[in-house]
Amino acid sequence: MKVCDRDLFAPPGQAFKRALKGISGGRTYVAAMTCAVVERALRTAVDYAVERESFGRPLIDHQGLRWSLVDVATRLEAARLLTLQAAHIVARDLDAQVEAALAKKFSAEIAAQSVAACMQAMGAVGYFRSTDMTDC
């Protein structure tokens, strides 16, 4: 059976490539959402560490805590740059399979450890329901 050209989803041999472009956009979107979650967790932890005192000084003044939060900030910046690179390629309607996959993989990996580090920086308060981020 022959199908008219106007009824084709894509020219022969192009449908799979077209579908992958959509997947690249979705992967990039997931990477961006993940970066936003990590950013919010980091802001919450830093704000708490500035306000809360321990041993007569703000938590943020303790070097070990700062190192932990700087590690989160560094990973976040790397994830953002990978995500921006993928988004730029997607926006130009080019093949972003590799860039989108890298951005999604890296951002998802760093999210789990970064959010855990932010919660840990806040001590037990980081585990309370009242500090969940549903108000954003």
Question: What's residue 16's pLDDT?
Answer: 79
Residue of 123 and 128 predicted with greater confidence: 123
Angle, helices 15-51/97-121, rounded to nearest 10 degrees? 20
Query: Domain limits of the chain?
Result: 27-129
Residue 58, beta-bridge partner list = 53
Q: Identify residue 97 by its one-letter amino acid code.
A: Q
pLDDT band at 134 (very low <50, low <70, confident <90, very high): very low
* Second CATH level (architecture) for the domain 27-129: Up-down Bundle (1.20)
Length of the chain: 136
The answer to whether 104 and 38 have CB atoms below 8 angstroms apart is no
The answer to whether 65 and 50 have CB atoms below 8 angstroms apart is no
pLDDT band at 135 (very low <50, low <70, confident <90, very high): very low
